[in-house]
A = this chain, B = another copy of it.
């Protein structure tokens, strides 16, 4: 009840690792190669990126594609759940400045 045995907490733990959310976000609108993904994420170190990719792949969220890496069907679903964060973040950016 308190532990991460609940699915959502496992998910929160997975997403709460550096670059994971960002990778998901960048892959939302189409596949990217390893290097392109790396640059899209502002130049993460390849070791970390590879670790994240492996985790997401094992989680069934990301999969290999001809064009590089792509979100799976499940991953696309998850990506869409992340979408409203954009609107929220825009409103959020207008804090303490008016």
Contact = CB atoms under 8 A, between A and B. Distances in A.
Nearest to A10: B89
A97 to B, nearest CB: 12
Nearest to A24: B12
A42 B3 contact: yes
A60 B95 contact: yes
A8 B84 contact: no
Interface string A57-88: 00110000000000000100110010011101
A35 interface: no
Interface of A: 2-4, 6-13, 15-22, 25, 39-40, 42, 59-60, 74, 77-78, 81, 84-86, 88-93, 95-96
